[in-house]
Amino acid sequence: MRRHLRPLALIALPIAMAACGPAPETVDPPTASRSASPSAVARAPSSATAAPTSPSPAASVAADPLLEVALTDVRSGEAFTLADLAADQAVLLEPMAVWCTNCRAQQHEVKRAHADGSFVSVSLDIDLSESAADLAAYADREGFDWRFAMADADLYRLLQERFGVAVTNPPSTPLIVIEPGGVVRPLEFGQGTRSAEALLAELAGG
């Protein structure tokens, strides 16, 4: 009986030693279904922990569809957007028409305001029957040196949907302030001609 037990003990000993030894080291690949422990999340580098970057002013401004509309200066042929202009300073947008005497009176106040303030003006002809040549001749005749552009049917509809029908009624002297950074702030329509001083106050934040 003892002769049979000795070989069995010799066989069992290596098996027991192997069981007590260290297990082979393995590393599981990361999977989307496995949840990391809080300590692992704190240690692991992640793009979410990278220093945040601030969007450029132009990127912020371009988020508004109105500011992304491509416009063309009728005199210089320069292509621009309101986002381009508002990236650096306030913009005064005036929907108008060549035949509108109220618009002309308002634009002469805008001209006076430019002498005392720093802002950008865009006069936007919303009469779809008028031509770029007529608008350019009008701006030259009146001595206005800022950008004049023509609205198309899509922009005409966009303005109405955004601000109501009054914005496409030039005699109501609609004016829209676009603040640096892209905040679009329509002034109350139908208030008559605003003085240069009143315009500068509005451009400064009302």
- Domain membership of residue 88 (yes or no) is yes
Q: Percent of the chain, pLDDT > 70?
A: 69
Give the dihedral sign, CA 116/122/124/130.
positive
Taking the chain, what is the end-to-end CA distance rounded to the nearest angstrom? 108
Give the dihedral sign, CA 10/12/17/22.
positive
Task: Report the CATH number that the domain containing residue 119 is assigned in CATH.
Answer: 3.40.30.10
* Total tally of structural domains belonging to the chain: 1
What average pLDDT score do residues 63-75 get? 94
pTM of the model: 0.70
- Domain membership of residue 36 (yes or no) is no
Q: What confidence tens digit (pLDDT) does each residue in 105-120 have?
A: 999 999 999 999 999 9
Q: Are 162 and 189 in contact (CB under 8 A)?
A: no
Cα–Cα–Cα angle for 71, 76, 80, nearest 5°?
25
What average pLDDT score do residues 14-21 get? 43
- Domain membership of residue 133 (yes or no) is yes
- Domain membership of residue 33 (yes or no) is no
Instruction: State the Cα–Cα distance between residues 143 and 139, nearest whole angstrom.
Output: 6
Kindly list the distances between the CA atom of residue 117 and the CA atoms of 75, 108, 197, in Å, as whole numbers in the listed order. Answer: 23, 14, 10
Give the dihedral sign, CA 77/82/85/87.
negative
Domain of residue 106 covers 57-203
36, amino acid identity:
A
- Domain membership of residue 24 (yes or no) is no
Instruction: State the Cα–Cα distance between residues 166 and 45, nearest whole angstrom.
Output: 55
Instruction: State the Cα–Cα distance between residues 206 and 204, nearest whole angstrom.
Output: 6
Written as one string, the DSSP assignment of 91-106 is: EEEEEE-TT-HHHHHH
Q: What confidence tens digit (pLDDT) does each residue in 150-197 have?
A: 999 999 999 999 999 999 999 999 999 999 988 999 999 988 999 999
User: At 13, is the secondary structure helix, strand, or coil?
Assistant: helix
Alpha carbons within 13 A on the beta-carbon side of 152 = 6
* 135 class by beta-carbon count within 10 Å (0-12 exposed, 13-18 middle, 19+ buried): buried
What average pLDDT score do residues 50-58 get? 42
78: pLDDT strictly greater than 70: yes
